[in-house]
Amino acid sequence: MRRYGPAWFGGGIVLAWILIALLAPWISPYQPNAVDVTARLQPPSATHWMGTDTLGRDVFSRLLHGARLSLAAGFSVVILGALIGTAIGTIAAWARGWWDEGLMRLTDLVLCFPPIILALAIAAALGIGPLNTVLAMLVVWWPKFARLGRALALVQRSQEYVEAATVLGLKPRRILLRHIMPNTLGPLAVLITLDLGNAILTFAGLSFLGLGVIPPMAEWGSMVAEGRELVEQWWVAAFPGLAILTVVVGFNFCGDGLRDWLDPKGRTQ
């Protein structure tokens, strides 16, 4: 606990948000889209713990339901991006030749564009909606995993156990799937953990700009956007913003702790 205290703290935050997302329909005091104009813009109270928004909807209930969409989008983008990117990078490192050259030039082409700008353009072209936003983010998310997967595969390919497997007559596909890929999972797991917070933040940013979800769907970025001009009614934007902050910090702490734990040189005897 003393050595990996921040990682345990971050893991607790992430686990708490996952449980909240799973149990949101049962623990939220109100329906997230229930409109009550007579109770609009009420400050936090015993009736509405985090106040109400411009339509009288309970901010606390919308915050709990927003966790379901934000976490699901973050996990979907990072996991799918990791699978696609790692497969492309590993195949490029193993095949070499024109396969390597073609796949890496495609990766470089995507990396030439700022990720948020390219995702914004793709999301605008596809249309508003969480699925389209996830697809737009996925297009710009896989190259970093392809680069890392290729670098790790090149290192593993030069190891003696790969040479031994080749001498024993194992097929290239088996060497790739059974020997090289499993030995690249450590650094990839660290990148996945660190990237989850970034993906949730990016999805919230696209929703803030109006490209994430279709109203009245509850999502943290769109909730912040609804309260960006309400200076006196600070609770409308403050609580969703704090939710984004806590989950991003939690994933960053987890990623840092996982990196330290997986690094043998960083451990004390």
Residue 140 and residue 244: Cα distance in Å, rounded? 21
Residue 23: pLDDT over 80:
yes
Give me the mean pLDDT over the 249-260 stretch.
86
Report which of residues 1 and 213 the model is more confident about. 213
- 3-state class (DSSP) for residue 58: strand
DSSP-assigned letter for residue 198:
H
Mean pLDDT, the chain, whole residue set: 86
Residue 91: pLDDT over 90:
no
Task: Report pLDDT for 200.
Answer: 93
Residue 128: pLDDT over 90:
no
pLDDT tens-digit map of 148-165: 888 888 887 777 777 787
Confidence of residue 265 (pLDDT cuts 50, 70, 90): low
What are the structure tokens assigned to 18, written together? 């996952």
Of 263, 262, 248, 256, nearest to 78 by C-alpha is 248
Give me the mean pLDDT over the 200-218 stretch.
88
Task: Report pLDDT for 52.
Answer: 92
Task: Report pLDDT for 115.
Answer: 83
- Asked if 193 and 255 count as a contact pair (C-beta separation under 8 A), the reply is yes
Judged by average pLDDT, the poorest of 98-112, 180-194, 198-212, 243-257 is 180-194
Residues sharing a CB contact under 8 Å with residue 27, sequence separation 6 or more, in sequence order: 20, 64
Residue 190: pLDDT over 90:
no
Q: Any bridge partners for residue 58, and if so which?
A: 52
CATH superfamily, with its number, for domain 51-266: MetI-like (1.10.3720.10)
Residue 108: pLDDT over 60:
yes
- Asked if 93 and 132 count as a contact pair (C-beta separation under 8 A), the reply is no
Residue that has been written with the tokens 């249309």 in this structure? 127
pTM of the full structure: 0.87
Domain ranges in the chain are 51-266
Residues sharing a CB contact under 8 Å with residue 47, sequence separation 6 or more, in sequence order: none
